[in-house]
Amino acid sequence: MAPLGKATSALMVRERDWHFLSMVALGASDRNSALRGFCDAPVMQDLRFGTKADWELANKICCHNKKYAEPSGYFNNANINLFGQFQPEEKYHTFYDSVCGVPLFRAPIGRSMQEWYSESLAHGWPSFRDAEVVRENVVVEQDGEVRSVCGTHLGHNLPDNKGSRYCIDLVCIAGKPALGPIQEPHFSMRGKAQELVETRVKADVSLLPSGNYFFMGNIVVLLIAVIAIILGLLIINRTRRRSRM
């Protein structure tokens, strides 16, 4: 029979190892949470429409403060000029989530480009109507907050005499499509939202600012934790067998 003292000592060492690994994992998770806030992941690094330089602003608005918004008229700034980027032959333009890349709005639909521009200019933010919403991917909360199925804050629903008007921050809908160009107007992403988030996170790891490579660190920590657990179980089983001898 194996001495119980040695077996107990070995188990205590393993418990300390697991505790250490847990602390490391929690530390990596805290760094992850600090950057992504309430989103499933941080905002993409390669945002469109000239908003890439305002990544910190985008991440703050989309993932950290639901009461914060980009400056009024931001979309019409000289370095952005959103409507000047659209091609004349485009019937409508599709806007994608800045975190996970799902399609959120398509405009203009049921009105002209000039009507859409005039309304957006009058209110200070890109303004969309019901017909322009990809409903499978957009959620309107009871308090009027508009978010995506990925958890990204987009703006607010502010109804007027024409119906619902979605007042949206451009930096939150300046993402690139997660699966490449999407042509189908009613493409549903609800069931695949988490999968797309994971895909976008993997694609953006190499683009994260220096010192923020925590995604890869999380994977390594999880692998180490799994290996430690397996080794611990093997030691426990081996100890039990010896104690029965």
**pLDDT recorded at residue 182:** 43
**Does the pLDDT value for residue 218 go beyond 90?**
no
- Is the predicted pLDDT of residue 21 greater than 90, yes or no? no
Per-domain residue ranges of the chain: 4-33+215-244, 43-190+203-207
The sheet carrying 145-148 orders its strands as: 127-128, 166-168, 153-157, 145-148, 138-140
Highest CATH level, class, for 43-190+203-207: mainly beta
Q: How far apart are CA 43 and CA 144, in angstroms?
A: 22
Helix spans in the chain (H)? 4-36, 55-63, 113-123, 193-204, 214-244
Nearest to 153 by CA among 171, 135, 132: 171
Interval 4-14 mean pLDDT: 44
Band (225; pLDDT cuts 50, 70, 90): confident
Mean pLDDT of 202-211: 44
C-alpha atoms less than 13 angstroms from C-alpha of 13 in its C-beta half-sphere: 9
What is the rounded CA–CA span in Å between residue 113 and residue 121? 12
Computed over every residue of the chain, the mean pLDDT equals 76
**Residue 25 pLDDT exceeds 70:** no
CA distance 143 to 147: 12
Q: Would you state the pLDDT for residue 83?
A: 93
- Lowest-confidence region among 83-97, 168-182, 215-229: 215-229
pLDDT digits (tens, 9 = 90+) for 32-86: 454 556 787 889 999 999 999 999 999 999 998 666 789 999 999 999 999 999 9
3-state secondary structure 70-94: CCCCHHHCCCCCHHHHCCCCCCCEE
- Give the pLDDT confidence score for residue 242 in this predicted structure: 67
Is the whole-model pTM more than 0.75? no
pLDDT tops 50 at residue 103:
yes
Residue 168's contacts (CB-CB under 8 Å, 6 or more residues apart) are: 95, 105, 125, 126, 127, 128, 146, 154, 155
Note the pLDDT of residue 6: 46
Nearest to 22 by CA among 212, 204, 199, 232: 232
Over range 99-120, report the average pLDDT.
96
Helix (H) or strand (E) holding 65: none
Digit-coded pLDDT (tens) for 187-203: 334 444 545 544 554 44
Query: Average pLDDT in the 5-26 region?
Result: 43
